[in-house]
Amino acid sequence: MSLDITPTLTATEEARRQVEICNACRYCEGYCAVFPAAFAERSFSDGDITQLASLCHNCRGCYYACQYTEPHEFALNLPAALAEVRVESWARFAWPGAFARLFQTHGVALAAALVLGTALIFTAIRLLGTGAGDGFYAYLSHSSMVAIFAPAFLFPLLALAMGVRRYWHEVGGTAVTLADLRAALIDAGRMRNLSGGAAEGCNYEKGDRYSVARKHAHHAVVWGFLLCFASTSSGTILHYVLDMPAPYPFFSLPKLLGVPGGILLTLGAAGLAMLKLRADPALGAVAAWGGEMAFVILLGLTGLTGLALYAATGTGLVAPLLALHLGTVLAVFVTLPYSKMAHAAYRLAALTRDAQLKRRAG
């Protein structure tokens, strides 16, 4: 009788093992940014693996092209290995870290509890008679909204900035030039890495068949989110700078930006949720599936409840829909540094670091 005493590898050690095999093979050299970055190195520190993991967009093309996946003894599954490192590193960088781990493992339940709990708090505040003004302010005053949302918006940004700072230190990042940032923003804006090694798209939800559905859904979510943010920002300028408080008519900047933004955000999030249900969970970080789905659902609910609230203007549904919408928005803000929403900041940092390394290499 023999005992198997082979030590269990950590996520970083397993990813390093697989990257070293990829570095020897080099079949996937034309694929996403991960492979040129890996092939430029001879050995890989923990920081190098963290950088490669955040460069990976989980398009999964390399998995279906690889000749060393199971049942081969190498048993490569690079998308899953890098996803595990990515999730582990984001939790390690997050502050406070305990909430990040909780969201990743119980994301859907936690998001639902946050939305409903916060909606009940807003309902209670409204019943206390804090409304003062027209439109939505008749249910919850402007000062109450500012008092609640200003800290809820600023604290997550601070927490995320601290996490990215820790990431930048671990991957060996140096002073950023405008050229580095410009290259990173262009890559991020075009979502070039979501196409993997093929112009036809990635292999996320259709196995070895290419698809651009994930890229399109991502674009819809990003532009929807940015339009909604621009809508809120324009409303803030109208209120404080031009002394034009809400409510605003349809043909005003907040509405012309917010309504299309809400539609794009809702449709894009619905598309991402459907694709995630079709995709093979074994090619990602299995334990983080709930947190990732919760993030998508929260984004979709933000757009959907905002549109429903606007459609219900002048009816008795405004009060409950306002509480639900504000609860959803607040839940997005509170979970921002710990949900997959953080991937936008970490991937932009990874692309910036990649641009630095390319520039130095010549």
User: How big is the CA angle at 347 (ends 182 and 50), to the nearest 5 degrees?
Assistant: 125
Average pLDDT over residues 247-257: 87
pLDDT in tens, 324-333: 888 888 888 8
pLDDT in tens, 37-56: 999 888 999 999 999 999 99
Q: At residue 83, does pLDDT exceed 90?
A: yes
- Which residue in the block uniquely carries the two structure tokens 């040129």? 36
pLDDT at 207: 81
pLDDT at 71: 94
Q: Around Cβ 39, how many Cβ atoms within 10 Å?
A: 14
Q: pTM for this structure?
A: 0.84
Total count of residues recorded for the chain? 362
One-letter amino acid at 112 equals A
pLDDT in tens, 285-306: 988 888 788 889 889 999 999 9
133, two tokens: 């003004």
Q: At residue 275, does pLDDT exceed 70?
A: yes
One-letter amino acid at 44 equals F
Q: At residue 234, does pLDDT exceed 80?
A: yes
- Going by the DSSP 8-state scheme, the letter that residue 31 receives in this structure is S
What is the C-alpha separation between 18 and 258, in angstroms, rounded? 45
Calculate what percentage of the chain has a pLDDT beyond 70. Answer: 83
